[in-house]
Amino acid sequence: MSHSMRFFATVLLLAMLIMATEMGPMKIIEAKTCERLSGTFKGICFSSKNCASVCENEDEEFTGGHCSGLRRRCYCTADC
């Protein structure tokens, strides 16, 4: 009887430990991405690589850019 009680206590302790590590503060949260129409990109946006380089060279804190929309405009992106 004592042996089964010790086994049950060990299993219960391990279950509580696993549940505590999953509910802890170590959750990964993705940053929201904000985007804004580029004020310096000229012409129709065919290459997201060119758009990103223009956005990164602006005075503001943009980390990239992409072409989007029916009118193919350059949108600068940054983490909010």
- 62 with 78: CB under 8 angstroms? yes
The predicted structure's pLDDT at residue 26: 58
User: Where is pLDDT greater, at 10 or 76?
Assistant: 76
The predicted structure's pLDDT at residue 5: 81
Round the average pLDDT of the chain to a whole number and report it: 83
Residue range 39-52, pLDDT digits in tens: 899 999 999 999 99
Q: Total structural domains in the chain?
A: 1
Which of 67, 64, 3, 2 is CA-nearest to residue 34?
A: 64
Domain CATH number, residue 24: 3.30.30.10
The predicted structure's pLDDT at residue 80: 84
Q: Which domain holds residue 13?
A: 2-79
Residue range 22-42, pLDDT digits in tens: 555 656 777 788 999 998 999
